[in-house]
Amino acid sequence: MICKLTIAYDGTSYEGWRSQRAEHGVAHQIECAWQQCFACEAQLVSSSRTDSGVHARGLVAHSTWPNEKFSTLQIAAQLNARLPETIRIMEVEAVTDSFDARFDALGKEYRYTIWNHAAMHPLLRDRAWHVPKRLDLANMREAASALIGTHDFRSFTVKREGELGNSVRRLHRCEIVAIDHEITIILEGEGFLYKMCRAIVGTLVQLGEGKISVSEIKAMLSPNEKRPCGMIAPAQGLTLWGVIYADSHERD
């Protein structure tokens, strides 16, 4: 039997889901707690690998069931009692043996928070990007709508070792919601390139500040375009909001 975990964490103190320095990764904290609780390895497989400083509200991972005597509520309670307060198992579900948290994901939703005011709100200092200059939301929304659909997003990623490979992705949603000075950019897609969400946000903000134009952002989507994105937004404003799955893996 497979155990599906929905996990939330404050990424401020962690170097992402996994880190080369194992103890600084979120996964390591959960695996240590699992070992303490159930005297076996968790062997976690995750839906995503968030970057250093990025938060999660609904990251999903799976592992084999630790012991048949434990219920879903007991597994969550046991782990949460041993995890740091910055990490919580929000839900445990029993799913079919064929479930894979990574490969069965149909899509992901990310949300990025911007505080658009001259003074940074102290309660959002680890949750939002402080942008003091007033942003042109109309222009940002026009560009955001152009990003929806299937495009080559090679301009909206950061080069790593090796070949980039297929840089075509489908973005289902790119919505900008503003309530007073708090701006949330909602990104939903089937998959994302490395730092793609933060690249989109950073570029939209530069547009909102008048540093680039809507036509320049549209040009970045051309398969032949080699122009890099405007900038990479800081990590602390980004949260993995949720992962989308079909219902066929649920157990009765």
Identify the pLDDT of residue 124.
96
Options 51, 97, 104, 152, the catalytic residue: 51
Judged by average pLDDT, the poorest of 16-30, 85-99, 221-235 is 221-235
Amino acid at 165: G
SS3 36: helix
Q: Which two tokens mark 171?
A: 């973005």
- What are the phi and psi torsion angles at 208 (to 5°)? -60, -25
Q: Where are the domains of the chain?
A: 2-104, 107-241
Active site residue 104: no
Architecture of domain 107-241: 2-Layer Sandwich (3.30)
Q: How confident is the model at residue 68 (pLDDT cuts 50, 70, 90)?
A: confident
**pLDDT above 70 coverage of the chain, percent:** 95
| CATH code, 2-104 | 3.30.70.580
Q: 172-186: string of b/e by CB count within 10 Å (b at 16+)?
A: eebebeeeebbbbbe
Over residues 10-31, the mean pLDDT reads 91
Helix (H) or strand (E) holding 166: none
Exposed, middle or buried by CB within 10 Å (0-12, 13-18, 19+), for 196? Answer: buried
Q: Do domains 2-104 and 107-241 have the same CATH topology?
A: yes
Over residues 196-212, the mean pLDDT reads 96
